[in-house]
Structure 1
Amino acid sequence: MTLPETPVGRLRWAVADTRTLTGRALAHWARRPGEVAVGLLFPVMVVLMMGYLFGGQMDVPGGGGGYREFIMPGMFAMTMLFGIETTFAAVAGDAAKGVTDRFRAMPTSPPAIIAGRGAADLLHSVAALAVMAVCGLLVGWRAHEGAARALAGLGLLLLLRFALIWMGVYLGLVAKGPESVAAVQTLVWPIGFLSSALVVPDTMPGWLGAIAEWNPMSATVTACRELFGDPGPTGGSWAAQHSVLLAVLWPLVITAVFFPLAARRYRVMGR
């Protein structure tokens, strides 16, 4: 096969291969519906557990619709964060089985290999957000500020997921196999819980609350609460007052760090 020499030709080649590899990932999920269903329903279980078992013991800042409305933006963001494990396992599994090396040996556009995984995982995240939104509506959550602001909040959630995809790709490429997912969970869970997703940072010790407020997760969660009109802390810190700005900047920073790292790691594999 003669590889394209012009920039337009290379772009078309990359787009076509990205579409093919995205379809490959989606086909894998279609053949394992049970595994996909469990992944989509796990956050629902957490919402029900936190909302109905522990929600009565929680003081909700700002009042509003209660603890379940308070945690829904947090669980939206947690679902995006948990997606790192899905990305990691898929990338590490392909690398361990030699699939990645076979792609490298074929006339496949190099950017398409990681872009295809990214596109598939982003589509999976859209489905996860849809499931979580239905769950939220059933337990009493509402977006009170209109459709435009609700869509903006969902956009920020997907922007966070887009950034975390490249972190998952990079970690999957440097890992020794999919069994290392336990190490990723050790990273993901503290990031998720050391935030404003499920609790108010003001209830933490001062230094720990400051870390939680500047957590990228907290920026997205706080911004979504503001855009949805859901109850949430009304802290006077700079991070709390500029949450929407931070919810855009943090994912851009994460992408700027991990996308080049993932691309470089892919280029040097097997050397």
Structure 2
Amino acid sequence: MTSLAHTAADAVTVTRRNLIKIRRVPDLLVFTTLQPIMFVLLFAYVFGGAIGEQNTGIDYKEFLIAGIFAQTVVFGSTFTGFSLAEDLQKGFIDRFRTLPMSPAAVLLGRTASDVVNNLISLLVMGLSGLVVGWRIRSNPLDALGGFLLLLLFAYAVSWIMALVGLLVRTPEVVNNAAFIVIFPLTFIANTFVSPETLPGPLRTFAYWNPVSSVTQAARELFGNTNPQFPPPDVWPLQHPVVYSLLWSAAVLLVFVPLSVRQYQRTTSR
């Protein structure tokens, strides 16, 4: 218990350090929130007329926002890998190594602070969505569940990015590698269009893509669905909350120990 208490205390300290960095370098937060706002405006007013209600069954702005949420928190999780690689490059990890602290504390603090960053992004996007016409049509408890599910999934992905950051150790390469993987992952999904509009292989990928299930779960929890346009008859989209939780749990079970082990290897060199 003492070891767990010390790890938790160290993680809180690292989290505070990372949040102070965001406060002192507000440009990080500004550019993090500008991108989702740009996507909201771009898809709502430029592409919304072309995609439209005929393909989604509801007002496109209500269809869109959950997809923007999912894409943004997944992209936001890449900040974990970028920051760890930057700390390695600048020698901060070497300083942590000289302190009597748990190896897991650095990673726990890093991923926890990025949850706060994603939470701020969701708040900004939610306000932007309300401005363009998005509305939550469910009860407050379901809506809260939608936001928590998005944050949980992003937290799981941040552990994948933590491992990438520890392996690559160069912020620029982390950004490039993450973009190459995450960009198609968030677009070959139901984030912006119905999967039914995609060609065969891409449609199948979109059906089983966890980003699709998180997006579908958020739409259902926000009440942004139309019973006359049910989701495709595939298990992940018929049970999106369960599928998203299973994915999040599996990623955490695999990548938390892998990241901690890689951190120990990296700091022992």
Q: Where on the TM-score scale, by shorter chain, does this alignment land: which range?
A: over 0.9
C-alpha separation in 1, matches of 2:206 and 2:61: 20
Q: Give me the CA root mean square deviation.
A: 1.4
- Give the equivalent residue in structure 1 for 2:257: 260
Instruction: Give the number of equivalent residue pairs.
Output: 263
1:169 is aligned, of 162, 174, 178, to 162
- Give the equivalent residue in structure 2 for 1:247: 244
C-alpha separation in 1, matches of 2:211 and 2:47: 22
Instruction: Give the SS at the match of 1:179.
Output: helix
Equivalences for 1:125-164 in 2 at 5 Å? 125-164=118-157
Whether 1:209 and 2:206 are equivalent positions in the alignment is no
* Matched AA of 1:224: A
- Give the equivalent residue in structure 2 for 1:220: 214
C-alpha separation in 1, matches of 2:169 and 2:155: 24
Q: How far did 1:62 drift?
A: 4.9
**For structure 1, which runs of at least 5 residues remain unmatched after alignment?**
1-7
Q: How far did 1:239 drift?
A: 2.0
- Give the equivalent residue in structure 1 for 2:37: 44
Q: How far did 1:35 drift?
A: 2.5
Q: How far did 1:262 drift?
A: 0.4
* Matched AA of 2:217: A
- Deviations along 1:104-126, one digit per CA (max 9) or x if unpaired, are 12212221111110111111111
**Identity percentage of aligned residues:** 38
Equivalences for 1:55-74 in 2 at 5 Å? 55-60=48-53, 61-64=55-58, 66-74=59-67
C-alpha separation in 1, matches of 2:27 and 2:94: 29
C-alpha separation in 1, matches of 2:56 and 2:77: 32
C-alpha separation in 1, matches of 2:121 and 2:56: 28
C-alpha separation in 1, matches of 2:13 and 2:116: 14
**For structure 2, which runs of at least 5 residues remain unmatched after alignment?**
none
- Give the equivalent residue in structure 2 for 1:190: 184
Aligned residues of 2:190 and 2:215 also touching (Cα < 8 A): yes
* Matched AA of 1:243: P
C-alpha separation in 2, matches of 1:9 and 1:214: 42
* Matched AA of 2:86: G
1:25 is aligned, of 14, 18, 28, to 18
Whether 1:100 and 2:97 are equivalent positions in the alignment is no
- Give the equivalent residue in structure 1 for 2:72: 79
Per mean C-alpha deviation after superposition, the further-off stretch among 156-165 and 9-18 is 9-18
TM-score by length of 2: 0.94
Whether 1:88 and 2:85 are equivalent positions in the alignment is no
TM-score by length of 1: 0.93
- Deviations along 1:133-191, one digit per CA (max 9) or x if unpaired, are 11111111111111111111111101101101101111110013111111211111011
Instruction: Give the SS at the match of 1:199.
Output: coil
